[in-house]
Structure formats: C-alpha cells, structure tokens
Structure 1
Amino acid sequence: MTTDPFGRAIRDHYLGNRDEPLIDRDGDETREHSIEQWYFGEHDEDAWRDSWMEGPLLDMGAGAGRDALYYQEQFETVAIEVSEQLIEILRDRGVRDARLANMFELRGQFNRDRFRSAHAVGTQVGLAGSMAGVRQFLADLAFVTTPDAAVVLDNYAPEKDATKDVFAFREDPAPGLAYRVYHEAYKGGVGKTLLFRLFSVDRLREATIGSPWEVTAVTYGDVQWRAILEKV
C-alpha cells in the first residue's frame, strides 16, 4: 500500500501519538528517520545564509515549519509542502501562509516576480531527479522571483569521499554526480521510491548556464554544500 508515511509519522510525532519509528529503507538496509532532530528543533541561525534572505520569501519543502516560523517574524514568508498532513502541522504551529504546492511546479502555482528570495534547505532540490530537472527547476524559480532575487540551496557533495557513506548512496561514473534511492515505511504504509540526484557545485554552475542565475557564494560541510544563487 502506497501512502504518505512521511507526513503521517511527523503528524503522529507532533500529536504525541507516534509509537513506531519512521523507517528509511534501501533494500535490506534501513535507518530510523530522525524526526525530532530534523523537523522540530530550533531554526539553525546561520548568519551567512540568513543574510541573503529577504521578503517575500518562498520556503520550499518547509517540513514542520522550523525555518518558516523564524522567517515570518521578519518578513512575508510562504511555506510550501506536498503533504497535506504537513500542511496541517504547519498551520497548527502558526505558519501564517502554508500552501499545498510542489517546488518542481512553481510556474503554475505562483505569479511572475512573486518572491524576493527562496529557500530550500534539506537537499530536496535533488528530487529534481536529473540535471535536466534541475535546469527546469531553476527556470521556473527564475519566473516566480524578482530580478534581484537570491536563493539558498544545498545538496550532498558526491565528490567527497565521506559522502559515499551516506545512507542509500549510489555511484555515478560521471564526475560530480551520484544518486540516493530509498523509500519510507511507517505503520504498514510504504511511500513511493525517492530518487535524489546528487550533484557538485561545479555541476550546479553548469546547470545555470543560459539561465539568469549565478552561483555567487558556497560553503561546505563534511558531506554537503550550501550555495547562494543570485540573478545577474
């Protein structure tokens, strides 16, 4: 049975009703999804990242609202998610503008020049699935953002040796590329297979060619990068 185990597990956790873990599964390999740590902690006050954010802001893949709750106290923030259960949590937690929307279908959901900045932290940009998908995403994001917009994105860095130990990692023979493939299970429900395209910052720069975006700042962690894109 294919359901929304991700949204259901986070909802149950929020309501205090979760008595089973949310499981990420890659064949015989499994891990417990860290719901409290990843979705209900305090906003990670990264001054470098936050300095680029201005309103109106689009928070893509807002989860349980950790970042949207922080940003909306400073400027207009629109939080989007693809799970109806997460939208209920966002609204109940006090996110003032939470919408059921897909970050990979922005052009059909928002007007041109709607946002001054956009935010997608959590490697969800990899769900574009391919570099062609990333280029289409950047084109649609350009449509819904102002001419002076800035965007923060992050992803795993496939060129780093440590990234090969990340759960559900798949090698790609092409330089600067890899995949992650897994699905989630909770209380008998099984989610659809998630295909994440991992790409290096150099590959991101290639994807911006022919678009109004330019990668203007980058920071690295042990296995991930975080980049600022601005329109030029």
Structure 2
Amino acid sequence: MADPFGRAVRDHHRGERDEPLAQRDGEQTREHPIEQFYFTEFAGEGENGRWLDARLDGPLLDLGAGAGRHALYFQERFETVAVEVSDDLVATMRERGVEDAREGDMFALREQFERDRFRSALAIGTQLGLAGSMDGLRRFLGDLAVVTTPDATAVVDCYDPARIETGELLGYRPDPTPGMAARVMTFEYEGELGETLLFRLFGPDRIREAAVGTGWSVEEVRYGDEGPHYRVALEKA
C-alpha cells in the first residue's frame, strides 16, 4: 500500500526530502509542516508540556507515535512502547533512538497487548478521528481500557467542530449532528497519492458520551491558545 506520508517523514529525517508533503482534498492542497509537527523537541516544558507530563506514567503506550517526538522524552522516565501503522515511521523512530517502536494498529489493541499492560496511553495527532464513528470511538476506548490498568490515565486530541471557521481545515465536511463533523483528505508526496482518509471530528461532549460504559471518564478538556484543536485527559471511572 502506498505510504507517501511515512516516506516523506522518513526522507525528512534522513535529509533526503526535496519535495513537500501535501495534504489534498480534490484540487485544494496545503503543505504539511513536517518539521514543526514531528521534529521539534518535546521537553515537558511550558504550561502545555507540564500539563501533559503530569498526566502520564509508565508503562506508557504511545499510539500513532509519528517520528517519536513524545516517545523519545518519556522513555527516559519510564517504559514507553511506541506504535505506528507505517513501516517507514517505525524505521524513522528506531533511527532516532526510540527503544521500543512497533508496527501496529491502534484500533486493534486487544490483538496486540495483554490485559492491564499499560499504566497510561497517549494518542496525539488527531488520529482518534480515524475511529470513523461514535461506535468506532466506543470500541477504541473499550479496547484501550482492557490493555490499561484499573487506575490508568490517557490523553487524546481532536478538533472541535463548534470552533472551526469556514475554510480553516482542509477537507472539512459539516454534519447536522451537534458536536460532529468529518474531514476527508489524502497525502501526496513525489507524485504518489495515499489512500483517502476519513476523520470523524468529535466535540468534547461526544467523547464524554462515547466514554460511558467503557471504563473511562473525561477528567479535563484543554484547548490550545486559539482554534478548534483540543486535548482530553481521561481517567478510569
């Protein structure tokens, strides 16, 4: 399967990238900021860094770990397992020094890990939206509850449809359901198109609703300085 996203991140790490990684929705395109999103060092500093650091403990499961930005920091503090679906991203993480980088699917956790394996989990990068639906989100949270301890914590992120301005998010698709929307986009690199990605966008209340009965509850919702992006701290109910 074509993986322009993973190849572009790998090539950037190796100093071999000569073309941009593009996000595409039909004829609309935007350059994806690889350096900013995946290669700036996370050092647990600043208000946001300290907030995240305080909510995670080991063993940690880093889902959709990208180039290992967070894994590199947290593995110095406790056991960290970084999971990515892309071979190229797993290779990139290993080259950068991530000690336990594995190929895996964040939506098939029960098949990959035993019960109570992790004390906390992290899924930063809005890949939560690839759950595809409210039912998919419930299944993910339920599976995550199985592979984490009874006192576990987790941090995930998403875009809040209620805060999205027209034209702000490439591939945005409105939805009449409150707190719901979608995003459709494809990555392109060196003329190669990846598969079309469908992200469901869940507002905080939809995550609270999906968490009911999964073992999780929403402990805190934290928005960035501006815009629709937010993070959710979860704890076992």
TM-score by length of 2: 0.95
Determine helix, strand or coil for the equivalent of 1:165: coil
2:229 corresponds to: 224
After superposition, residues 71-220 of structure 1 pair within 5 angstroms as 71-162=74-165, 165-220=168-223
CA distance in 1, matches of 2:84, 2:211: 25
The farther-off stretch of 159-168 and 210-219 is: 159-168
Which one-letter code corresponds to 2:40 in the other structure? Answer: G
Determine helix, strand or coil for the equivalent of 1:162: coil
Tell me by how many angstroms 1:164 deviates.
5.7
CA distance in 1, matches of 2:18, 2:201: 33
Which one-letter code corresponds to 1:220 in the other structure? Answer: Y
Q: Is the 8 A contact 2:43 2:73 kept in 1?
A: no
CA distance in 2, matches of 1:92, 1:44: 19
Q: Is the 8 A contact 2:208 2:217 kept in 1?
A: yes
Q: For each residue in 1:176-228, what CA deviation from the matched residue of structure 2 results, as whole angstroms up to 9, or x when unmatched? A: 00001000111121100011010111000100111211001111122112111
After superposition, residues 8-47 of structure 1 pair within 5 angstroms as 8-43=7-42, 45=44, 46-47=49-50
- RMSD value, Cα: 1.1
Q: For each residue in 1:71-98, what CA deviation from the matched residue of structure 2 results, as whole angstroms up to 9, or x when unmatched? A: 0000000000000011111111110000
The farther-off stretch of 157-166 and 27-36 is: 157-166
CA distance in 2, matches of 1:90, 1:161: 32
Tell me by how many angstroms 1:168 deviates.
1.2
Q: Is the 8 A contact 2:161 2:201 kept in 1?
A: yes
CA distance in 2, matches of 1:164, 1:175: 19
Determine helix, strand or coil for the equivalent of 1:116: strand
- Could you tell me the percent identity over the aligned residues? 59
Q: Is the 8 A contact 2:58 2:118 kept in 1?
A: yes
Which one-letter code corresponds to 2:155 in the other structure? Answer: V
Structure 1 unmatched ranges of 5 or more? none
The farther-off stretch of 42-51 and 160-169 is: 160-169
1:5 corresponds to: 4
TM-score by length of 1: 0.97
Say if 2:68 is the partner of 1:65.
yes
Determine helix, strand or coil for the equivalent of 2:139: helix
CA distance in 2, matches of 1:195, 1:56: 31
Q: Is the 8 A contact 2:42 2:69 kept in 1?
A: yes
Q: Is the 8 A contact 1:26 1:181 kept in 2?
A: yes
Q: Is the 8 A contact 1:163 1:223 kept in 2?
A: no
CA distance in 2, matches of 1:40, 1:73: 17
Structure 2 unmatched ranges of 5 or more? none
Q: Is the 8 A contact 2:156 2:231 kept in 1?
A: yes
